């Protein structure tokens, strides 16, 4: 059979492409042809219409709404989350085959079939922006999906702004930020380039990178709030969410203010959208009435009601972080490191990462090494160790892993080196009770060591690429190596203990024979 597949994840980075590769390999192994369109952060190349026409069925492995879904109308399909395709691609392909076999036969005019399976809440999506919130899910699931929508659109601003600011400090030193004094970015830029731009001036290049980077960072909280509101109320929520996020920055409420503004703006817009109004007014509701009223309400609440309490809470959090020392700061590193490995790119991982990056934003113009910069260093190092540690385990004890897992181990080296924790997911999906605890142990050790060594980092992403921007880079590497070794040895020990069980050899042998990972 021939299948077309769509893969996408909230951030559009790792899971999107890992799922695509897994589906292609699983299809090939089962004797089918699977062609994948990745709707990731880098955009997508749409299928040739001839490929769609020749397809027997469609596989949706998406956590966002699928773009241009109408082109697959009439074809049998399965709709699963992207993690399902990463963890069990053969099962997804088998479900797609079953859907085709269960559908009515094709006619000369084309396929005349009904959908075989669909996850509630999915629908044809606009080209962009996109989100996927399951309407029938529980409150906790929907809150997580709303938050992940905001975080997914925030990450590009974090990466671009943070790395540019870090490069500016590398070129011009930390004093380049202090030289600004109380001037606005515009005043600083005008003063620096008063006599024109000198391409040979390192100071001017550093100033250029700093201004552009801080401009990108300035959107961090508004984008987070705007797209949380978008996830809740669709397009009518964008204006109140963005304005509420900008006001959160104005009053000094920071990240917590952005979260509050996003939910507030989204629910106000959603409530207005559900009002029954006369037909004459209905046409202007989404473009005039809802954005106007929701923005006024959100602005009033943020400035008059929530602004000061949230600012006090953010100031208290910052003061508490900067007062940490000794065992307290090491414990913080252990906790954040463990969070990075709990779900390897999932909501808990993103909470720790967002906590670090928003703290990085507040410390962007500071000199020295405030705790926020140490938090960022700990989070990045702890996120690198799970793939690296599992890769080490595949080299130490090849017999504990299938042929496919050994190949994935080689790829995990590169993914871990570039701070892509999701490189460990194929292994964790196959044996969560053995892989996840090992990863938590190694990442917790790494996070604690980074805090103990006092490493600081001003870049929010990059892995080995930004190693030169870390204070005491050799000690930082040592922390990563120690965490990698701890993870690798723990994986080997736990998998060996599993094989030593009374029923393990037969199960292990079955997994090795089939070429599929042995489940936990």
How far is CA 287 from each of CA 181, 237, 239, 251, 293, rounded to the nearest angstrom?
Answer: 41, 11, 10, 28, 11
439 is catalytic: no
Q: Which of 382, 385, 383, 356 is nearest to 459 (CA)?
A: 356
Helix (H) or strand (E) holding 231: helix 220-233
First to last CA, the chain: 31
Residue tagged 């515009």 (tokens): 186
Q: Which value, in Å, is the radius of gyration of the alpha carbons in the chain? A: 25
Could you tell me what percentage of the chain is helix, strand and coil, using 3-state DSSP and rounding each to the nearest 5?
Answer: 70, 5, 25
Bridge partners of 61, per DSSP, are: 7, 80
Q: Which residues have C-beta within 8 Å of that of residue 387, sequence separation ≥ 6?
A: 412, 413, 415, 416, 420, 421, 422, 423, 424
Q: How far is C-alpha 232 from the chain's CA centre?
A: 19
In sequence order, the 6+-apart residues with CB closer than 8 A to the CB of 482 are 445, 446, 449
CA nearest neighbour of 145 among 109, 179, 180, 119: 119
Q: What b/e sequence results for 137-159 when a residue is b if at least 16 CB atoms lie within 10 Å of its CB, and e otherwise?
A: eeeeebbbbbbbbbbbbbbbbbb
Q: Single out the residue of 145, 117, 490, 69 nearest to residue 347, CA to CA.
A: 145
CA angle (384 as vertex; 378, 385 as ends), nearest 5: 95
Write out the DSSP string of 471-495.
Answer: SSHHHHHHHHHHHHHHHHHHHHHHH
Active-site residue, selected from the candidate residues 5, 6, 9, 163:
9
DSSP readout, 330-351? HHHHHHHHHHHHHSSSSHHHHH
Q: Which of the residues are catalytic?
A: 9
């Amino acid at each position: 059979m021939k299948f077309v597949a769509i893969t996408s994840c909230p951030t559009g980075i790792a899971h999107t492409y890992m799922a695509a590769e897994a589906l292609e390999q699983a299809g090939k192994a089962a004797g089918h042809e699977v062609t994948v369109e990745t709707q990731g952060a880098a955009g997508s190349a749409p299928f040739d219409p001839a490929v769609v026409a020749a397809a027997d069925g469609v596989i949706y492995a998406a956590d966002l709404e699928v773009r241009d879904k109408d082109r697959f109308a009439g074809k049998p399909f399965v709709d699963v989350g992207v993690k399902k395709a990463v963890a069990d691609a053969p099962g997804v392909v088998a479900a797609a085959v079953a859907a085709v076999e269960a559908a009515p036969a094709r006619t000369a005019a084309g396929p005349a079939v009904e959908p075989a399976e669909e996850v509630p809440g999915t629908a044809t999506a606009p080209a962009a922006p996109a989100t996927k919130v399951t309407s029938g899910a529980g409150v906790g699931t929907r809150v997580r999906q709303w938050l992940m929508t905001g975080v997914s659109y925030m990450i590009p601003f974090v990466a671009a702004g943070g790395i540019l600011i870090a490069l500016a400090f590398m070129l011009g030193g930390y004093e380049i930020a202090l030289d600004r004094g109380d001037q606005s970015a515009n005043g600083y830029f005008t003063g620096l380039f008063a006599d024109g731009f000198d391409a040979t001036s390192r100071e001017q290049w550093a100033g250029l990178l700093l201004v552009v980077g801080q401009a990108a960072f300035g959107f961090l909280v508004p984008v987070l709030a705007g797209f949380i509101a978008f996830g809740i109320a669709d397009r009518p929520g964008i204006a109140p969410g963005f304005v509420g996020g900008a006001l959160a920055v104005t009053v000094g409420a920071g990240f917590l203010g952005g979260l509050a503004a996003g939910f507030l703006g989204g629910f106000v817009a959603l409530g207005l959208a559900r009002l029954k109004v006369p037909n004459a007014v209905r046409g202007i509701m989404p473009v005039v009435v809802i954005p106007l009223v929701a923005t006024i309400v959100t602005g009033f609440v943020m400035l008059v009601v929530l602004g000061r309490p949230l600012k006090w809470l953010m100031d208290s959090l910052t003061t508490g972080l900067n007062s940490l020392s000794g065992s307290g700061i090491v414990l913080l590193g252990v906790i954040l490191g463990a969070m990075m490995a709990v779900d390897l790119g999932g909501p808990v991982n993103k909470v720790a990462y967002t906590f670090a990056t928003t703290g990085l934003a507040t410390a962007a113009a500071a000199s020295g090494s405030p705790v926020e910069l140490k938090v960022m260093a700990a989070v990045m190092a702890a996120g690198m160790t799970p793939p690296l540690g599992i890769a080490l385990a595949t080299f130490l004890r090849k017999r504990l892993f299938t042929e496919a897992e050994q190949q994935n181990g080689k790829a995990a080296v590169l993914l871990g080196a570039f701070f892509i924790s999701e490189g460990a997911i194929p292994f964790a999906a196959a044996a969560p009770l053995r892989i996840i605890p090992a990863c938590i142990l190694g990442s917790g050790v790494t996070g604690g060591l980074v805090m103990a060594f006092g490493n600081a980092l001003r870049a929010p992403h990059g892995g080995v690429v930004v190693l030169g921007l870390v204070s005491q880079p050799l000690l930082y590497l040592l922390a990563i190596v120690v965490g990698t070794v701890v993870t690798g040895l723990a994986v080997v020990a736990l998998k060996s203990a599993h094989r030593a069980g009374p029923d393990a050899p037969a199960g292990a042998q079955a997994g090795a024979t089939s070429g599929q990972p042995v489940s936990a």
